[in-house]
Amino acid sequence: MDYHTYNEIKTQTEAWKEAIAVTVEQAEEIRKLTDRYEQVIFTGCGSTYYLSLAGSALFQSLTNKSARAVPASELLFNTPSVIARGSRNLLVAVSRSGTTTETLRAVEMFKREQLGEVIVISNYDTSMSPLADLKIVIPAGQEKSVAQTRSFASMYVAVTALCVIASGKVDLLDQLFSLPEVGNRLMDQYESLAKETGENLAYDRFYFLGSGTNYGLACEVNLKMKEMTLTHSEPFYFMEFRHGPMSMVNENTVIVGLLSDKNLKHEKAVLDEMAAKGACVLALSEKLGQVTFESGIAEEIRGVLYLPVLQLMACYRSLAKGMNPDSPKNLTAVVKLDI
């Protein structure tokens, strides 16, 4: 298929490999830096804010240290609501280009005000890198498309590796190296399902459900559906979906569930209830659902496996609607503002 987006999705596991290698190479420096802080802030814009939501939840879960995610604009413009006066934090700034204005200005402010040290994660060694106390750059994740797919996945794998290193759980680090092979298998195995679901234009609304560390990932795949296809799409925590949003469910609805092992019983009950109301359910998990990973990889570090099939679904829907997935309406690859 002669589209950058499709090719970037299909080749993303090479960027996963580089992300793991680049991060693990700096394991000693990462451990020293993260050991100095009990509070960590993850920040970005758009996709990388959603990455920050997933990353901060994973960091806190693995390390038992306080972590939160905020959009870079909030860190920049509403600093007191993000950082308590007198506190020092480690900032993890995520940006595909390294030049996104809000994130760049937020990092500059953070350094200028001496609020703590900074880790930058990017696919390009550009404007943000010189501000970093430690940088993780993944060139293999670079893209020609506007919507982030390969880049997001590569940076998320790097964040996953960073969280594992900070936690000191070496057994999990060894398992990371199995992710690319499983990712390739899932794309081969489930691309036809992604195509069939994406191309069904009778569906007019998509809801992506994920909880815990999966919520940020649900937000991101929701964004891909919005950006590439201009389809009504929203993310929710599993249990929250019952509190109002399920009123939108009908036979034209697709409910995508990023199922966890820990809360499988409760999350599956939500999907079963929505299926009974007429929705098409697409569940992804290690062993249960329409897409099963069968990876043998620990739940904490296999989050990236939710992405490729759902990215493909959005790409195929874009084409079915006569759109160009490489150039979503009203969007540019990098947002630059006069701030």
Give yes or no: residues 152 and 16 share one domain. Answer: yes
Domain assignment present for residue 131? The answer is yes
Give yes or no: residues 86 and 222 share one domain. Answer: no
Give yes or no: residues 197 and 61 share one domain. Answer: no
Give yes or no: residues 188 and 167 share one domain. Answer: no
- For residue 51, what pLDDT is reported? 98
- For residue 327, what pLDDT is reported? 86
Domain assignment present for residue 135? The answer is yes
Domain assignment present for residue 230? The answer is yes
Give yes or no: residues 107 and 85 share one domain. Answer: yes
CATH number for the domain including 257? 3.40.50.10490
Domain boundary among 128, 143, 176: 176
- For residue 332, what pLDDT is reported? 66
Domain that holds residue 29: 4-176
Domain assignment present for residue 45? The answer is yes
Reading the block at residue 197, the tokens are 């679901």
Domain boundary among 176, 210, 237: 176
Domain assignment present for residue 332? The answer is no
- For residue 335, what pLDDT is reported? 63
- List C-alpha distances in Å: 223 to 48, 132, 182: 11, 28, 24
Cβ atoms of residues 176 and 71 within 8 Å: no
Domain assignment present for residue 119? The answer is yes
Give yes or no: residues 161 and 269 share one domain. Answer: no
Give yes or no: residues 184 and 108 share one domain. Answer: no
- First vs last C-alpha separation in the chain: 39
Give yes or no: residues 137 and 218 share one domain. Answer: no
Give yes or no: residues 204 and 300 share one domain. Answer: yes
Give yes or no: residues 138 and 19 share one domain. Answer: yes
- For residue 337, what pLDDT is reported? 62
- For residue 132, what pLDDT is reported? 98
- For residue 338, what pLDDT is reported? 75
Domain assignment present for residue 331? The answer is no
Cβ atoms of residues 335 and 100 within 8 Å: yes
Rounded to 5°, angle at Cα 25 from 20 and 31: 100
Alpha helices in 72-169 (DSSP H): 72-77, 79-82, 101-112, 150-167
**The pTM of the whole model exceeds 0.95:** yes
Domain total of the chain: 2
Give yes or no: residues 119 and 203 share one domain. Answer: no
- For residue 301, what pLDDT is reported? 98
Quickly list DSSP for 41-90: EEEESTHHHHHHHHHHHHHHHHH-SEEEEEEHHHHHH-HHHHS-TT---E
Q: Which amino acid is at 135?
A: K
Domain assignment present for residue 228? The answer is yes
Mean pLDDT, contiguous 10-residue spans, the chain (339 residues): 95 98 98 97 98 98 98 97 94 96 97 97 96 98 96 98 96 96 98 98 98 98 97 98 97 98 98 98 98 98 98 98 88 66
Distance between CA atoms of 120 and 68, rounded to whole angstroms?
Answer: 16
Domain boundary among 141, 160, 176: 176
Give yes or no: residues 144 and 29 share one domain. Answer: yes
Quickly list DSSP for 176-217: HTTHHHHHHHHHHHHHHHHHHHHH-TT--EEEEE--GGGHHH
